[in-house]
Every structure is written in structure tokens, then in C-alpha cells.
A and B are shown apart, each in its own frame.
Chain A
């Protein structure tokens, strides 16, 4: 009898123990999900592999692709090729992300920039990148005289200006003492809109321009409307090679504001993944009462869409940064950049390409070939046939007079060779040295600009030009990544809700 009584007491204690444990876990997960203080931190310490992170262990996933990184002797993550992707868990939406990275850069003039950022647009795969370490600003251009602060600083080859205001004024007035040649100013990590717009020079007079070759996938163009209206006509085709629906979307922007748009949903009979080509579908867009000037035209499509024809009442149709010609004919285009990146995705696209008189044989698919040209404003690109993807930081056009680029030069890994550059305007905070070659950098991002899916943000670590087996002495060692989300606390949210109800 006593034994049975004792057992009953023990069993009820067990019940209490498990029920309490269960509700404690529910409470813990509830608190983790709500983040009542308005902050939530995720960190990964690579330097000590023995120390298992029990708290939020997998909030930062393993990097991918696997062949672009390795672990060092002390567990530090070594970035061997560009770029590296990671996913970060976030329990709810916050307003800001503070990213702290502790790293040791082993960079050169050719692989000079280490940047980190998050996916901002899942459709066009645009990332918002911010500088972590810039070898050019830290080492190569360190001898240039510098004025300003980390928010906005000016580096000058020869000291001509004593303040930023004086420089901006000279830029505004297109002062002769500023540049002997065109494009003497390079920008780094700042938007064109905080400084006076670049002078466009003589604008060609023309009423109509058409695509010279069909283009595959998403593209962006600069167009110049001289007559106060937009008249755009064209046609596209759906290749149905991937599994997603292939909506066609076109937007026209003036100073980042949408002025006209068009969307055609994929309601076509052909099935996705069938590789059955759709018929050519025509589209047109007309918009009156537009100011004369420069506009940006964006075709926001996936790679199944081929723009067969595009005609617009513009003097220019300059392709921005990336061009994917889709034709069996010979392709001849022009660019204003002094380098070209080429990638072939199919064995049929392998060929010899000529850039500024330099012949390069594309002999491997999925390999990114990089060709550097001499200095000069316009370079010719010749392809035996369409297929390879062409990319650089400049503009492509179908005629040598059709290059319209309203952007200033960007400071990149090719800038050291560019003798034209006399000034660098940058928003860059010097990395904090921690000793023994290690640095700490802090970056801040607004989450409203970023893309979040399944409670995860996509982090990218990029060192442009860093390729496997190119130079084994060039890599980045990562010791720690810490991500801190911040936003209003639960109390602040409740208060704002009450205030909004009262109103």
C-alpha cells in the first residue's frame, strides 16, 4: 500500500516535471519568435571549431558552393573563389541588420575588393553590396591626399581642392580645372544622385531605334526621349526551358520613379520544361506627357524569355552592364568599359571572341573569361554567333555612336591601371585593425530594401576577380560573422498600435 502511494507521488512528480518542461520550451520558442527586446543575434565563430555553438546553432547555414571555400588549420573559413552564399535565419521582420565580420584579407591589386551584402531582388538576382575591405583605398590610393569623412571622402591625385563643397561646386559648374580628360572622377559605394548629374554631351537626334539582335533574359537599357512621349513596340518568345512561369514585365523609370509599365502573364498553352517555343507575342506601350531626358528601361524577365524585337522612339538604346545576344548570326557590339566578362552556357556557344582586337577562345562552358583591353573610350566586341553572356561595369550598344552612359566611373579592380582617374569620391569606412593582419568591419543594411523568404535572408560574400587556382596566395580568411537584427521592441509595437487605434 505504502509502495503504491509512493509510486503515485513519483508519477505525479513526473507529470509535473514533463508538463513544466514542455511549457518552458513553448515559452522559450515563443520568446525567440517574438524577440520582445527588438533585437536578435546570430553569430558563427569559425576560429574555434571545438567550441560548439549551442545557442542558435544553425542560424547561419554552411556556405555554398562547396568548392569555393575550405577550412584552415584553426577552423577559419577561407574564401577561395567569388562569390560565396549563405542563408541567415530571422525569426520575424526587423528594420535593420548590422553585420560584423572579422577577417584577414590576402588581396592584390587585381582582386582588391571584398564586399558583403544581401539579396535585394529575387527576380533579377540583384544584391545590395557594401564594402568590407577595399585594398585600393586602404593600400594603393592611400598616398593620395584625402579630405572629408568616412561618409563621403575625396581622394585627389594632385591636391586642387581643399574642401568637398568646393569640389562639388566645380563638378556642378563643369569646371575646366577639374578634368583634362573625360571621366577623371571615379565613385565608390555612393549613388550618383548625391552629386551633380554627369554631363551627357552631344545627344544624337533620332526618332526611332531598334534592337539589332534578339536578347535573352532580363536586360536594362538607357533611352533618351526627346519628344515628350514614349512609343515602344516589340515582341518576345518563351523558350519554356525552366520550371517557372515566364511572365513578361517591362518598366520605364525616370530618376528611380516608374513612369510606365507593362506586364503580360504567362497564360500560354505550352508547358514549362517542355522546351517547346511559344509563338512570337507582340507588345506595345505608349505614354504621353513625359519630360525630355534620360530614362531607364527594365525588362524584368527570367531566362526563358527572348526579346525578339524592341523598337522605341529614342535616339539611344544602350544596354546596361549585361547583354545576352540570342542569334545564330555574327554579333558586333560596342562597349565603353575597359574589360569584358564572357560566359558560355552551352557547348554550341563555344567560339573565338574578339574584344578590342584581342582574340580569346571560349573553350569551356560555365567558365567566366575575363578580357582586359587598353585604355580608350569605345571598344568593339565581335562574336562568331550569339549565345555567350557579355558583362562589365559599362554600357553596350549596337553602334559606336550609341553609347549613352550617364554614370560616373566606378572604382573597381581595374581602376589602378586607369590613368584618367584624378579623383575618387567614396563612402568607405576604413577597416578596424585587430592585429596580426586581422580586421573588423561593420556594415549596416535596411531590411526594407532586402528580400526575405522562408524567414531567411541570403548573404553574399564577394571578392570580384577571385577565382579558383588562379593565385593560391589570394584568399580571405573569415574568423567570425555576427548578424544583429534590430527593430522596435514588443512594447514599442504595442504602444504604436494603441496610438494608431486612438487616432
Chain B
């Protein structure tokens, strides 16, 4: 864990990648919300929303902890 923490702290690029991925997931989840409202079932046909939400939460926690 400490090693992972140090790696992220040292590797600015990885930190940026996680933040960008967090933004991407946020945009994707908002898109999913809009699409499910307009065409129910279309977004969930291709994406597992629970898995996306879990990834979003992980990236959010990592970017808050190690920024």
C-alpha cells in the first residue's frame, strides 16, 4: 500500500491519468443517465452501471487521497 502510495506520489503522470479517468467516468455516467432517460435500456445494454460507478468511486478516492 505504501509502495503504491509512493508510486502515485512520485509519478505525476499516473496521478493525472487517474484524474482524467475520473472525469471520463463522470461524463460517461452522466451520459448514461441521460440515455437511460431518453431510451430506457440502451445504455445498460452495453455498460454495467454498477461496475462503472465502482470504478468512479475508486478513482475519486485515489485522486482525493493522493493529490
Contact = CB atoms under 8 A, between A and B. Distances in A.
Nearest to B23: A18
A91 B43 CA distance: 10
B41 A18 contact: no
A26 B46 CA distance: 12
Query: At the interface, is chain B mostly helix, strand, loop or mixed?
Result: helix
Interface in B28-59: 28, 31, 35, 39-46
B64 interface: no
Contacts of A14: 16-17, 20
Contacts of B35: 29, 33
Interface residues of A, number: 23
Contact of B45 (A7, A15, A59, A454): A59
Contacts of A33: 35, 39, 42
A133 B40 CA distance: 34
B45 A57 contact: yes
A7 B16 CA distance: 9
Interface string A46-79: 0000000000111100000000000000000000
A89 B36 CA distance: 13
A21 B24 CA distance: 9
Contacts of B46: 29, 32, 56-57
Contacts of B41: 89, 454-456
A20 B16 CA distance: 17
B66 interface: no
A353 B49 CA distance: 53
B31 A455 contact: no
The interface centre, meaning the residue of A21, A22, A25, A91 with most chain B CB atoms within 10 A of its CB, is A25
Contact of B42 (A11, A15, A18, A32): A32
B12 interface: yes
B48 to A, nearest CB: 10
A367 interface: no
B31 A26 contact: yes
Given A10-B13, A33-B42, A455-B40, A22 B27 contact: yes
Contacts of A89: 41-42, 45
> Which of A29, A89, A91 has the largest count of B CB atoms less than 10 A from its CB?
A29
Contacts of A22: 24, 27-28, 31
A21 B27 CA distance: 11
25 contacts: A7-B16, A10-B16, A11-B13, A11-B16, A11-B20, A14-B17, A14-B20, A18-B20, A18-B21, A21-B24, A22-B27, A22-B31, A26-B31, A29-B35, A29-B42, A32-B42, A32-B45, A56-B45, A57-B45, A57-B46, A59-B45, A89-B41, A89-B42, A92-B39, A454-B40
Interface of A: 7, 10-11, 14-15, 18, 21-22, 25-26, 29, 32-33, 56-59, 89, 91-92, 454-456
The 9 closest A-B pairs by CB, nearest first: A18-B24, A454-B40, A14-B20, A455-B41, A89-B41, A11-B16, A33-B39, A18-B20, A455-B40
Interface of B: 12-13, 16-17, 20-21, 23-24, 27-28, 31, 35, 39-46
